[in-house]
Structure 1
Amino acid sequence: MIAKTEVVWKDTFHAVGLKVPFQPSNVILPSENELSKLWIRFNPRAGEIKGCDGKCYGLCLFPPGFKPGDTFDYLAGAGVRAIEDVPEGMTAETVAGALYCVVTRQGTIDELGETFRYYWEEWLPSSADYEATCGAEVELYDERYRGNEDAASIMELWFPVKRKREAPIENRIGSAIVHVTDLRRSAEWYSRLLGLPIREERLNGGPVYWFDLPGTGLLLDDNSGNRRDPAWREDMKPRFMLPVSDIDDAYAYIRERAEIIGGGPHRFEGMAYFNFRDPEGNALMACRSEHAEEDPALAETESPVLGRIGGVFVDVRKMESAARWHSELFGLPFKPQEAEQSIYSVPMRRGASLLLDDNRARRGETFRILLMFDTRDIRASYDFVRTLGYEAFGEIEEHGDVAFFSVRDPDGNLIMICQGEA
């Protein structure tokens, strides 16, 4: 029985388990095939896996050029918070964040074929917005699953999909932008915080200094070039930059949904950009660059503050409308239940999370936090910034597995340092 069908974004997750090649068959029942035998071998060994998150996954991993009926790899495994110490004979897999049609079904395992028939022959052909795409198909087993023979068992099947017309703007924050008054002073301040060397060649008289960080970069901008434009205003400073592959397509797309500020697209050798506002008035940037992107590895430094931006905050007053707008901008489904919380995380393919935050509006606070650096040791990070003589904004706050504090940069910008997933 099909209980529910919805299109949702699923964040990147990890699984550890046993993997075998599998040849599909319409003759052998699911309860008797090699995958059921694989689960029988895996279940007694699940306790060997460290850091389990309470979920079990069946991963259908298709090779390039896969066609229906071809052999593919299947992993029966447990979800883990991080991959470490994989037990002997097991395999670890990471499934990147993606959009899925999630079909929730109830019934015995031998009725599983009905779910595949429903998805491929009914739901997908009738969908006006979505089509199938490459990626792993996922079976989710949690506390609702009572066993193969129990007709009350509930499981989820995730089928990777994409919009028939993809948004021309990537759901990834290319760079977080911090606006400063003294570029060298700020470059030195952030370099000390992250334990990174100063790149003197980037302090060449231009208005920006940048840090190449994994996933999402950091761009410092003193706006000296912008201030020479009489039409430029302080409220045009963008919070972050979104990558696009075609600047004109992106401009036409966003112009239908938002206010363009400062004209554009502005074109330079190797890059082009324009700025726009979200419904709350926050300025954002869309940018195309011809330079090949390299995602650097996380630098190992003496600083306990990692050179990795975990999240970029956008202050909002009306969470539901803001979350709906940002979701639609990237062609993502809106999650109304999550919009009832004080933080709404807009799914990003990689790099920093986009965190819509209405805490300032709820509490009547006038400060704002721009972004969040990750750390593995919050206490060591707090002591480190105090040793540097930096001004901490309050003490360490702890909420369950999450701990954080904020620090002021030389221009008074508040930067959060966080251990755990905020």
Structure 2
Amino acid sequence: MGRQIGSSLSVLAVSDIARSRQYYREVLGFNVTDWWAERDGLNGMALKLHQAPEGFRPVPNPPESGADTGIDVQGYTETWAGLDSLYEEFKSKGAKFAREPVIYPDFGPWKEFVVEDPDGYHLAFGGVDGGRAHCSIQSKIDSAILWVRNLERAVDRYSKLMGLEVREEDRYGHLHLFRLDNGTHLMLDSNGMDNVPVPERGPLLLKLDTYDIERAKREAVGHGFEVVLDIQKLPSVSYFNIRDEDGNIIMITQNVVQS
């Protein structure tokens, strides 16, 4: 059976939801919506902030035996360079630190600092200096970029295809940014594309997953995509390819669950 749990979120009851959302957004750099607060996607550090009922006082975790600071949420970084950069970012925005960066020689070594939110919850950030410490380019794809000619139509089409919210704060002139659940971004860019001809054919640019391949095909067609390769069914995966009006080709796949 394939992976059944894609991500998890820590739930924090807060005394003032507006204050907490502002802190996580403006000080800690989280992407904050009505549903969650996340940094680097739902597979990064993801939280649900719930307004505590009147009279309820948030209760952060107590310190474990022998420790001086309780931890409510733990985040991991791959290198100390990334950790140091995160610390400097938080510091420049006025974050409150419950623990300054410290190195524990017996655990990797492990380096960590702890941020405190308005309700006293403690968010720890730490990690070992991994094998890629010599490399300044991270081993993850931050964004996929699709060139489009009509930005409004493309934003509407892709938001419907993947069930994404369209937000004004994600529009940057000729470019729109979708923040995907796994921490990557989909960028639709119309800069200088007005007079560029649509290619007759091109390579696959994106691969998206579905849990119902037949339904996904109907939905894609309904949103204005052209099916350029009909559903192919193999022992381990089914897939089909679609094309948008700008010539961008997307593969939709469904893994076959082995019984």
Shorter-chain TM-score bucket reads 0.3 to 0.5
TM-score of the pair, normalised by structure 1: 0.28
TM-score of the pair, normalised by structure 2: 0.43
Which structure has more RCO (C-alpha within 8 Å, separation ≥ 6)?
2
